[in-house]
Amino acid sequence: MHDVPDNFDINLTEISKIEGSASLEVKIRNKKIEDLKFSISEWKRFYTQAIQGKPAVAVPQLVARICGTCSNAHLLCSIKTVEKALGIIPSSQTMLLRRLIYNGLIIRDHALHLYIFALPDLYNKNSILDFDENDPLQKQLLEDTFEIKEVGNRLSKIVGGRSVHAPYPTIGGFLAYPHIQELKNLRDTLIAVRPKIFRLIEIFAKSSFSLSLPNIIFNGLSSQDYSFLTGQLVSSQGNILPEERMSEHVEAVVIPYSHARGFTYKGSTMMVGALARINLYKKSLHAKTKADTKMYLDLFPSYNLFHNNLAQALEILHVIDTSSEIIDGISTVTNEERIPVHPKQSVGVGVIEAPRGTLYHKYEIDDKGIVQKGEII
């Protein structure tokens, strides 16, 4: 056992294995945490100001640059927002193709977090680069890392044109369409990686890490098919809201030591993301996913924050099963004409589930189709 002093401070100016930049200050007194400050140190980039005066049809590709790895989340949320403002109802084919793009994002983004950021801690490694290639399991996990990420990248690239900042999705449809044979070929690859995801699920289910917050409120966008792109806002308190009313129930909180705002739900601490989604609507997961992971789903609802990793692994399996089913159901991809855009004075709200939580866009548009005001949460 190490002799730990009663009083000491921890100051980390840079935290590794996260998406973004952050610092951490911890003050220990009498062997208890007296104060803790987690600071998001990324500077504000004024995207909501930048889109003012821009044509609404151009905004999706602009706001996609907010984030690299989850650019397609902002892209599709923005498209949804503009379409709702202008009364555009996308075709069923468009919605299925958008869902495939998004499923690719979920696979890749969750895999990035689980394999590269989270998994090394379970093996007492500083980095995935420290894994022992002479250890059969660690070698297999290294191979799994890149195979799973590649599957997600390919799915988004085939349908969206690129794995990040997809150029094909647009207001009212697509600028270009995937080849059906490419989708059919990818379907076999999706099925082939299922055992690798089961391996990941089992590892995180057996993890002994635990941190419970029993009073936290979970929020998410619930749909019958767990699509991430549509639904109603639900909370663990039993509240159900249309997505247009989200801003009425969350309150921005200024955190003086952080560059990023926080948000509360009706004055209480809330959590969004994979753990919230699985807790709230695990019954909406794909039937095959539910049947094959029942013993793990029985762990939810959970207040153990480390079960967010398990929830992400379960979501990867869900989108793999969902994508396989969607591709099976597509016999041909039609080069549909895009729905025409007719500018009008309007307000649009779009809400989706980004990989790490609920994403909200709101635009006020004038009669010439120009954005006058934007809000992004």
Which pLDDT score, from 0 to 100, does residue 232 have? 95
Residues 93 and 193 in one domain: yes
Which pLDDT score, from 0 to 100, does residue 3 have? 75
Token readout for 216 is 């936290």
Residue of 167, 218, 190 whose CA lies nearest to 107: 190
Residues 75 and 202 in one domain: yes
- Name the pTM for this structure: 0.94
Does the residue 323 lie in any domain? no
CATH number, residue 181: 1.10.645.10
Going from the C-alpha of 252 to that of each of 125, 220, 247, 266, the distances in angstroms are: 37, 17, 10, 11
Mean pLDDT by 10 residues, the chain (377 residues): 81 83 92 91 84 97 91 98 98 98 98 96 93 95 96 98 96 97 96 97 97 93 96 93 88 84 87 98 98 98 98 99 97 96 97 96 98 95
Tell whether 77 is in a known binding site. Answer: no
Does the residue 262 lie in any domain? no
Residues 14 and 152 in one domain: no
Which pLDDT score, from 0 to 100, does residue 2 have? 62
Residues 112 and 202 in one domain: yes
| Cα–Cα dist 243/234, whole Å | 10
Tell whether 376 is in a known binding site. Answer: yes
Which pLDDT score, from 0 to 100, does residue 140 have? 96
Which pLDDT score, from 0 to 100, does residue 299 have? 98
Segment 215-242, tens digit of pLDDT: 899 999 999 999 999 999 999 999 999 9
Residue of 217, 151, 208 whose CA lies nearest to 183: 151
β-strand 217-222 against 268-271: which pairing, if any? parallel
Residue 188: count of CB within 10 angstroms of its CB: 10
Range of the domain at 31: 8-40
Does the residue 142 lie in any domain? yes
Which pLDDT score, from 0 to 100, does residue 20 have? 78
**263 within 8 A of 255, measured Cβ to Cβ:** no
Which pLDDT score, from 0 to 100, does residue 1 have? 46
Domain count, the chain: 2
Residues 202 and 85 in one domain: yes
